[in-house]
């Protein structure tokens, strides 16, 4: 969405205001230059002042919100459901705990004189709650209690609010960013520019109301409060995400017992069951009001539902600024990455579809397939299993259909596509780094670094000793490294055992495929489709095993990572991510690697067949293993996507139904805001979302040479995935605590590793699995139109090894020895792998050098804003003069606004 001229209205810290209030932005009608005007230089007419007052819609009394009209803007102070009973103090967080309803005669009371009596579980929790709430009051939080009584339990809601002074203290302590000067944020995107150049209407563009403004910012300082925008309005100066982040910091650091025992923080209280939930409130309901109101009057949650989470918006750009403003930078970065990745899938899907269509239209010119299907060429093939168990000889023409289908996935176009996707993966990651840098700067987290993290609650409670922290100088729980090492080794051993278990299941699937294919080949009716049926059914069985093992291992990996005693949450998440990904990599990809690189390599020849558990090793079909690899990849990838999407649709609804049933709440009963949010399910974070997308990235890059349609299926899945995730975050889960982040973390390193592996994998698939090089060598040495190629690839069974002379697929002579063609082919295959890898890696390295991680325009902007921020804290007038001088300079040589920040498609 491009911004032309002056933005008439925007959002400043959650409040919609005209730009004249704070920025003081005006534009010349003939160009895009932006001039900054001091507030005292504005000449407002009485009509302008009336418009500003009506747009603010600030109510000075507590009689309830004024009715919405079409001129007004959304004002959070009018949402009385998010405030204490006095209508003035905003609810920043809610703590919930439950208590059983007991009859008075059965309720036990503790005897104060009985000090030696052991406390019950309920009494211990009540003592912890009281001390925790007492410490929250000491920290400065206001609180108010609501009690909802049901038939079986009483639900207690503790509403928390942070006063202005507390917010200021913690905002400085947490190094929050504060606005100095509003400035325009013209956004641009590559798809919009292309469509504009081609003069095609951009249907993906949409105007989202109440767009948050962009600012020059610096670290918040209480001593410089008068220099920041909006400081006179204490009620709306801090956004709801900033307020909840402050309260979460207090909740995480407040003690509820003895600090020596590390009885600190809300997270451990939740684990102990002292509280059932702790969450910030959503900004009102997500449904639009039944009576008509303008979209500018909708609350932020309703805007996200209307312009993002609805299925009707599947083809629109995501409102990333709104997402970040409501959920925080960490979730905003995820959806920005997901949208960017989905947009990049579009060109790869189009190219993949064209490659597949080329194979479809050129199928008739496939000489080897035509020779194979010719009835006059009677090739009697050796049995696919031992003769003594009833396996019969068969004609090569029986697999005619299978061979023609195989050409769709194994033709010269797939070689080009493998090279294309290798470059695509590297270029995608390089341009994501640029996009990420622009977003991180735009969202004031480019140089964000975690503060010295506190130890995890589980870590603190289990540590046997205390040591002085070398950074803070404070004694804190410490787990000796010599005690952690055996745990890490044991965890690694458990991972190896699970991987071996996966490999055992893979062998079982292989044996299943062999045993199923034998009776199918014995039946003349099923013989033409025997390989396809055996391959498809085994792929389905393998998918079921994969999904079951995934659920088991994820729980095991979480327990193992906890047992390893990692000090901080960041260390814990990185180790958990590594464990889960390693296992899932083996779990999902092992069967595909087997078919692509090992199946049919160790079969032997008639009279000297190799066996596994008494069964002959599998051999590839006459069409090659690439078509079976495409089948396996399609079943696992598409099946996984269907199952995951079904889970994302059904599981949250089932959990919500069970939770509401447990609470015993009725649908027709009017509920307070905190009750409605408590009935939502807990937000489980982004780990599973990233894992699903990273595994998909591996499917479309590592094995793309075998399945050119993989990016197309990934694109369709991601269009659905974005809306499913959006609906989940907006309508089905409680609002998460807004977390800061400057990138996607360890996931980028995993993506980079997959991109490098994709180059090697595709090189070997083309060289050793595809028929591309054997056909190319045959063209060069024998016949350019491939006449006689089918007969050339079939060897004769050695004398005396079979009852009848038969053919089998290999480059061997009548004595079973490899021919010279085979050795020439091996040399060419190895040479191809080396050349392919060096060329692709070399060009990828060149792309890395030519595409800087941070755009040059952004680097200049960052340096300029740092300078302005320093001047701002010293002299407010100086920043106005410098900013005005900066904006009066001409545009850059390319004619682009230096304040442009790219926006994601989708």
Domain boundaries, the chain: 93-103+111-176+220-280, 857-882
Q: How do residues 3-53 score in pLDDT, each as one tens digit?
A: 333 334 444 444 444 433 333 333 333 333 333 333 333 333 333 333 333
Position 47 scores a pLDDT of 38
SS (H, E, C) 631-656: HHHHHHHHHHHHHHHHHHHHHHHHHH
Position 873 scores a pLDDT of 61
Contact yes or no for 406/626 (Cβ under 8 A): yes
The residue ranges of DSSP E strands in 49-206, in sequence order, are 93-100, 142-149, 153-161, 177-183, 187-188
Q: How do residues 386-410 score in pLDDT, each as one tens digit?
A: 766 667 787 888 778 778 887 888 8
Identify which of 651-665, 768-782, 798-812 has the greatest average pLDDT: 768-782
Mean pLDDT of 466-472: 68
Position 337 scores a pLDDT of 94
Question: How many other CB atoms are found less than 10 A from the CB of residue 94?
Answer: 22
- In angstroms, rounded to a whole number, what is the distance separating the alpha carbons of residues 415 and 762? 9
Identify which of 319-333, 476-490, 846-860 has the greatest average pLDDT: 319-333
Mean pLDDT of 279-298: 86
- H/E stretch holding 532 reads helix 530-563
Mean pLDDT of 527-549: 74
Contact yes or no for 75/58 (Cβ under 8 A): yes
Distances (CA, A) of 666 to 527, 545, 675: 60, 40, 12
pLDDT class of 511 with cuts at 50, 70, 90: confident
Contact yes or no for 646/632 (Cβ under 8 A): no
Mean pLDDT of 465-490: 74
Contact yes or no for 659/681 (Cβ under 8 A): yes
Position 531 scores a pLDDT of 66
Position 134 scores a pLDDT of 92
- In angstroms, rounded to a whole number, what is the distance separating the alpha carbons of residues 883 and 420? 45
Among 450-464, 642-656, 736-750, 777-791, which stretch is predicted with the lowest mean pLDDT?
Answer: 450-464
pLDDT class of 280 with cuts at 50, 70, 90: very high
Long-range CB contact pairs, 643-650, < 8 A, 24+ = 643/547, 644/692, 645/717, 645/720, 645/721, 645/724, 648/721, 648/724, 648/725, 648/728, 649/724
146 in helix, strand or coil?
A: strand
Position 452 scores a pLDDT of 53
pLDDT class of 63 with cuts at 50, 70, 90: very low
Q: What are the percentages of helix, strand and coil residues in the chain, rounded to 5?
A: 55, 10, 35
Mean pLDDT of 629-649: 85
Q: Which two tokens stand for residue 706?
A: 């075998």
| pLDDT > 90 in the chain, percent | 16
Position 19 scores a pLDDT of 39
Long-range CB contact pairs, 335-340, < 8 A, 24+ = 335/722, 335/725, 335/726, 336/435, 336/436, 336/439, 336/904, 337/432, 337/436, 337/744, 338/689, 338/693, 338/718, 338/721, 338/722, 338/725, 339/722, 339/904, 339/905, 339/906, 340/432, 340/435, 340/904
- In angstroms, rounded to a whole number, what is the distance separating the alpha carbons of residues 379 and 401? 16
- Inform me whether the pLDDT recorded for 455 exceeds 90: no
- Inform me whether the pLDDT recorded for 563 exceeds 80: no
Question: How many other CB atoms are found less than 10 A from the CB of residue 333?
Answer: 26
- Inform me whether the pLDDT recorded for 670 exceeds 80: no
Q: Which two tokens stand for residue 692?
A: 């699903």
Q: Which of 906, 863, 902 is nearest to 186 (CA)?
A: 902
> Do strands 901-902 and 187-188 pair parallel, antiparallel, or not at all (unpaired)?
parallel
pTM: predicted TM-score of the whole model, two decimal places: 0.80
- Inform me whether the pLDDT recorded for 132 exceeds 70: yes
Mean pLDDT of 270-284: 89
Among 135-144, 658-667, 771-780, which stretch is predicted with the lowest mean pLDDT?
Answer: 658-667
- In angstroms, rounded to a whole number, what is the distance separating the alpha carbons of residues 319 and 904? 9
Position 515 scores a pLDDT of 74
Q: Which two tokens stand for residue 410?
A: 């194994």
419 vs 64, higher pLDDT: 419
Position 832 scores a pLDDT of 92
Mean pLDDT of 287-296: 83
Position 211 scores a pLDDT of 83
State residue 18 phi and psi, 5-degree precision. -70, 155
- In angstroms, rounded to a whole number, what is the distance separating the alpha carbons of residues 724 and 11? 27
pLDDT class of 54 with cuts at 50, 70, 90: very low
Cβ burial of 446 (10 Å; 0-12, 13-18, 19+) is middle
Residue whose structure tokens are 């684990």: 271
- In angstroms, rounded to a whole number, what is the distance separating the alpha carbons of residues 704 and 130? 59
Give residues with Cβ within 8 angstroms of 900, minimum separation 6.
186, 187, 188, 857
- In angstroms, rounded to a whole number, what is the distance separating the alpha carbons of residues 395 and 383? 10
SS (H, E, C) 150-194: CCCEEEEEEEEECCHHHHHHHHHHCCCEEEEEEECCCEECHHHHH
pLDDT class of 716 with cuts at 50, 70, 90: very high
98 vs 472, higher pLDDT: 98
pLDDT class of 893 with cuts at 50, 70, 90: very low
Distances (CA, A) of 402 to 455, 516, 529, 708, 848: 59, 18, 7, 18, 42
- Inform me whether the pLDDT recorded for 798 exceeds 80: yes
Q: Which two tokens stand for residue 488?
A: 């890490």
Average confidence score pLDDT of the chain: 77
Mean pLDDT of 556-577: 80
Identify which of 41-55, 283-297, 312-326, 476-490 has the greatest average pLDDT: 312-326
93 vs 16, higher pLDDT: 93
- In angstroms, rounded to a whole number, what is the distance separating the alpha carbons of residues 689 and 886? 42
Mean pLDDT of 568-580: 81
The DSSP symbol for 753 reads: H
Mean pLDDT of 214-238: 82
The DSSP symbol for 472 reads: T
852 vs 529, higher pLDDT: 852
Position 204 scores a pLDDT of 83
Q: Alpha-carbon Rg of the chain, whole angstroms? A: 33
- Inform me whether the pLDDT recorded for 606 exceeds 50: yes
H helices of 765-889, where? 772-781, 789-792, 820-850, 856-874, 876-888
- Inform me whether the pLDDT recorded for 148 exceeds 70: yes
pLDDT class of 360 with cuts at 50, 70, 90: confident
Q: Which two tokens stand for residue 840?
A: 């692709």
């Amino acid at each position: 969405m491009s911004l032309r001229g002056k933005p008439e209205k925007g959002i400043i810290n959650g409040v919609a205001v005209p730009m004249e209030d704070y920025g003081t932005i005006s534009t010349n009608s003939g160009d895009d230059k932006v001039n900054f005007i001091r507030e005292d230089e504005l000449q407002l007419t009485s009509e302008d002042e009336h418009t500003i007052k009506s747009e603010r819609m600030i109510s000075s009394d507590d009689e309830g919100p004024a009715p919405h009209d079409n001129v007004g803007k959304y004002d959070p102070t009018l949402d009385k459901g998010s405030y204490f009973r006095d209508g003035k103090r905003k609810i920043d967080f809610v703590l919930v705990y439950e208590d059983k309803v007991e009859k008075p005669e059965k309720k036990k009371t503790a005897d104060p004189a009985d000090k030696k009596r052991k406390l019950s579980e309920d009494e211990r929790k009540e003592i912890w709650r009281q001390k925790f709430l007492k410490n929250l009051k000491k920290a400065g939080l206001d609180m108010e209690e609501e009690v909802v009584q049901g038939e079986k339990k009483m639900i207690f809601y503790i509403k928390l609010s942070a006063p202005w002074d507390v917010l200021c203290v913690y905002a400085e302590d947490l190094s929050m960013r504060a606005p100095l000067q509003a400035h325009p944020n013209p956004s641009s995107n590559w798809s919009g520019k292309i469509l504009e150049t081609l003069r095609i209407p951009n249907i993906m563009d949409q105007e989202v109301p109440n767009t948050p403004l962009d600012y020059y910012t610096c670290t918040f300082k209480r001593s410089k409060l008068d220099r920041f925008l909006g400081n006179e309005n204490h009620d709306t100066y801090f956004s709801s995400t900033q307020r909840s982040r402050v309260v979460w910091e207090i909740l995480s650091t407040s003690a509820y017992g003895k600090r020596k025992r590390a009885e600190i923080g809300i997270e451990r209280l939740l684990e102990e069951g002292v509280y059932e939930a702790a969450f910030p409130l959503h900004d009102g309901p997500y449904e639009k009001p039944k009576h008509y109101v303008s979209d500018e009057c909708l609350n932020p949650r309703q805007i996200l539902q209307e312009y993002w989470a609805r299925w009707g918006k599947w083809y629109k750009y995501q409102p990333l600024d709104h997402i970040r403003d409501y959920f925080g930078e960490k979730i905003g970065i995820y959806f920005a990455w997901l949208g960017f990745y989905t947009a990049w899938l579009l060109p790869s899907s189009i190219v993949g579809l064209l490659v597949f269509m080329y194979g479809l239209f050129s199928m008739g010119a496939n000489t080897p397939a035509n020779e194979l299907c010719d009835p006059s060429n009677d090739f009697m093939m050796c049995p696919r299993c031992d003769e003594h168990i009833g396996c019969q000889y068969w004609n090569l023409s029986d697999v005619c259909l299978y061979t023609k289908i195989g050409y769709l996935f194994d033709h010269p176009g797939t070689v080009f596509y493998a090279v294309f996707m290798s470059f695509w993966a590297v270029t995608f990651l390089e341009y994501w780094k640029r996009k990420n840098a622009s977003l991180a700067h735009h969202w004031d987290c480019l140089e964000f670094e975690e503060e010295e993290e506190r130890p995890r609650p589980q870590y603190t409670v289990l540590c046997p000793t205390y040591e002085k922290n070398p950074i803070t100088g404070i004694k804190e729980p410490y787990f000796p490294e010599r005690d952690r090492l055996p745990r890490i080794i044991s965890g690694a051993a458990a991972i190896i055992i699970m991987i071996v278990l996966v490999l055992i299941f893979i062998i079982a699937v292989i044996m299943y495929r062999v045993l199923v294919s034998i009776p199918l080949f014995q039946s003349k009716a099923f013989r033409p489709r025997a390989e396809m049926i055996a391959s498809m059914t085994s792929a389905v069985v393998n998918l079921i095993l994969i999904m079951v093992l995934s659920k088991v291992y994820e729980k095991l990996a979480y327990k193992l990572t906890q047992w390893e005693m990692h000090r901080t949450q960041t260390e814990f998440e990185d180790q958990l991510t590594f464990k889960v990904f390693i296992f899932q990599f083996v779990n999902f990809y092992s069967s595909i690697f087997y078919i692509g690189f090992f199946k049919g390599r160790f079969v032997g020849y008639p009279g000297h067949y190799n066996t596994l558990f008494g069964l002959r090793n599998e051999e590839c079909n006459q069409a090659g293993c690439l078509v079976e690899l495409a089948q396996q990849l399609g079943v696992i990838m598409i099946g996984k996507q269907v199952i995951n999407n079904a889970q994302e649709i059904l599981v949250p609804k089932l959990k919500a139904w069970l939770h509401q049933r447990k609470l015993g709440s009725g649908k027709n009963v009017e509920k307070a805001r905190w009750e409605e949010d408590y009935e939502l399910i807990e937000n489980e974070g982004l780990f599973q979302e990233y894992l699903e997308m990273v595994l998909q990235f591996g499917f479309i890059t590592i094995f793309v040479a075998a399945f050119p349609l993989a990016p197309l299926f990934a694109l369709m899945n991601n269009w659905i995935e974005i809306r499913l995730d959006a609906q989940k975050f907006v309508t089905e889960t409680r609002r998460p605590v807004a977390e800061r982040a400057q990138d996607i973390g360890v996931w980028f390193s995993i993506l980079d590793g997959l991109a490098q592996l994709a180059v090697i994998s595709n090189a070997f698939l083309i060289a050793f699995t595809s028929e591309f090089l054997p056909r190319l060598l045959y063209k060069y040495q024998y016949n350019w139109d491939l006449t006689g190629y089918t007969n050339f690839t079939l060897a004769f069974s050695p004398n005396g090894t079979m009852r009848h002379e038969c053919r089998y697929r290999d480059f061997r002579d009548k004595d079973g020895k490899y021919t010279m063609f085979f050795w020439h082919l091996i040399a060419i295959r190895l040479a191809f792998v080396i050349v392919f890898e060096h060329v692709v890696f070399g060009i990828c390295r060149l792309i890395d050098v030519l595409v800087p991680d941070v755009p040059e325009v952004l680097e200049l902007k960052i340096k300029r804003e740092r300078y302005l921020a320093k001047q701002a804290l010293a002299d407010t007038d100086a920043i106005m003069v410098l900013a005005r001088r900066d904006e009066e300079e001409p545009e850059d040589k390319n004619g682009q606004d230096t304040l442009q920040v790219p926006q994601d498609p989708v």
